[in-house]
């Protein structure tokens, strides 16, 4: 494994009209790039992920996984706006010499894809065998697949969408309302909104899991009137995230998720998807209540070389981070079709 920092001194013009005069992206690579660059696997992480893809996707990326270090050159970059080494709201604004805080610009999934494209060009990678991502990572990967054209051979989009639904935007707004309700939000401090982030994560966890999954795993074994397992589970998950992530990045990246619309300025969703040249595998999850399986199925039908596969799981949206055995089989089948 190798880590690196890409610093771009070329301005990134954002969809909002704002400009990032310079930015950094932290990235990690595994394995060795072969001579003809035919073994590049580029992974895009989800909302609170990082560049260490072999850690959070260990069932797909690893010595004995489908994407192994002896055969593949695997790369993952921390998304712009995230807090794991890439430019974000706590980074120094080169114009003022102080952190951006609340003045950090609004980012779209298209902006995130363009920043990854700048990294690809910097690394002189001319061809990507497979671009893979789930949830927000799938949205960014889909945008980048549109940009890459013939430079991309395969796109694997898991538990994701062509355009963010009002349902998902509503969940994200409820989470940002929780952050904004924290009395520290608005202060120029790295821990601003931390307690609000705990509440936001609790809301998110309810959308990431299927009701049947929570009902089974958090079922009480004794009669009680307070101190329920489901309540302690959500509090634990909220505190766990708040101790490793920051509210500013959560705000930035949920806003980016809301913005996602592959068809914006391109004649609509179907017209944009119809121009994607890579073979595409859209993977839905049968129990996903957030990014529903029908949305993945639509992707497979609208892309000329589109295919659909489905994970069967009680875990809901989070199945893309859990059901490694199923996912590996679906990917293998896709490659051999």
Active site residue 122: no
Catalytic residue among 115, 313, 317, 318: 317
pLDDT of residue 282: 98
> How many of the other CB atoms lie within 10 Å of CB of 211?
12
What single-letter DSSP state applies at residue 222? S
> How many of the other CB atoms lie within 10 Å of CB of 68?
16
Catalytic residue among 288, 300, 313, 318: 288
Is residue 173 scored above 90 in pLDDT?
yes
Q: What is the largest CA-CA distance in the chain?
A: 65
pLDDT of residue 172: 98
pLDDT of residue 101: 98
Share of the chain above pLDDT 70, in %: 100
**pLDDT tens track for 255-312:** 999 999 999 999 999 999 999 999 999 999 999 999 999 999 999 999 999 999 999 9
16 pLDDT band, cuts 50/70/90, is very high
Global pTM exceeds 0.75: yes
2-164+260-336 maps to which CATH number?
A: 3.40.50.1820
Q: Which of 337, 335, 314, 287 is nearest to 132 (CA)?
A: 335
pLDDT of residue 298: 98
For residue 2, report the phi and psi dihedrals to the nearest 5 degrees: -130, 145
pLDDT of residue 260: 98
Identical fold, 2-164+260-336 and 168-256: no
Nearest-angstrom CA–CA distance, 185 and 102: 10
pLDDT of residue 297: 98
Is residue 9 scored above 90 in pLDDT?
no
Integer-rounded Cα radius of gyration of the chain: 20
DSSP string, 252-315: HHHHHHHH-BTTTTTT-HHHHHTT--SEEEEEEETT-SSS-HHHHHHHHHHSTTEEEEEE--SS
Is residue 184 scored above 90 in pLDDT?
yes
Enumerate residues 6+ apart whose C-beta is below 8 A from 202. Answer: 234, 235, 237, 238
What's CA 96's distance to the chain center, in Å? 30
Nearest-angstrom CA–CA distance, 206 and 20: 35
Mean pLDDT of the region 145-160: 98
User: Hey, where are the domains in the chain?
Assistant: 2-164+260-336, 168-256
Mean pLDDT of the chain: 97
pLDDT of residue 53: 98
Active site residue 135: yes
Is residue 124 scored above 90 in pLDDT?
yes
pLDDT of residue 105: 98
State both tokens at 196.
């609000």
Mean pLDDT of the region 309-330: 98
Mean pLDDT of the region 24-49: 98
| Alpha carbon distances (Å) from 11 to 90, 91, 111, 259 | 19, 16, 12, 21
State both tokens at 280.
């595409």
**Fold (topology level) of 168-256:** Rna Polymerase Sigma Factor; Chain: A (1.10.1740)
Catalytic residue among 8, 135, 160, 313: 135
């Amino acid at each position: 494994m190798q880590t690196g920092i890409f610093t771009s001194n070329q301005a990134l013009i954002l969809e909002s009209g704002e400009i990032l005069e310079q930015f950094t992206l932290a990235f990690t690579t595994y394995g060795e790039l072969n001579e003809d660059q035919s073994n590049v696997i580029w992974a895009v992480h989800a909302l609170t992920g990082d560049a260490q893809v072999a850690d959070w996707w260990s069932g797909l990326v690893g010595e004995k996984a489908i994407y192994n270090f002896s055969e593949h050159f695997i790369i993952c970059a921390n998304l712009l706006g995230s807090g794991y080494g890439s430019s974000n709201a706590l980074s120094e604004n080169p114009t003022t010499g102080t952190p951006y805080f609340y003045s950090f610009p609004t980012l779209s999934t298209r902006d995130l894809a363009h920043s990854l494209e700048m990294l690809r060009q910097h690394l002189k990678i001319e061809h990507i065998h497979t671009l893979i991502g789930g949830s927000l990572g799938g949205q960014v990967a889909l945008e980048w697949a549109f940009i890459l054209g013939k430079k991309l051979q395969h796109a694997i989009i898991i538990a994701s969408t062509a355009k963010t639904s009002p349902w998902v935007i509503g969940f994200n707004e409820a989470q940002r309302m929780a952050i904004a309700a924290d009395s520290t939000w608005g202060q120029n401090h790295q821990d601003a909104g931390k307690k609000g982030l705990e509440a936001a994560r609790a809301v998110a966890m309810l959308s990431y899991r299927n009701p049947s999954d929570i009902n089974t795993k958090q079922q009480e074994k004794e009669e009680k009137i307070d101190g329920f397992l489901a309540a302690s589970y959500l509090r634990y998950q909220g505190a766990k995230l708040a101790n490793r992530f920051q509210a500013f990045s959560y705000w930035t990246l949920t806003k980016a998720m809301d913005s996602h619309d592959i068809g914006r300025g391109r004649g609509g969703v179907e017209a944009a998807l119809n121009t994607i040249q890579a073979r595409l595998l859209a993977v839905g999850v049968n129990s996903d209540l957030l990014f529903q399986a029908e949305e993945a199925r639509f992707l497979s039908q609208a892309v000329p070389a589109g295919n659909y596969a489905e994970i069967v799981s009680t875990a809901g949206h989070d199945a893309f981070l859990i059901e490694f055995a199923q996912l590996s089989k679906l990917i293998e089948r896709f490659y051999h079709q």
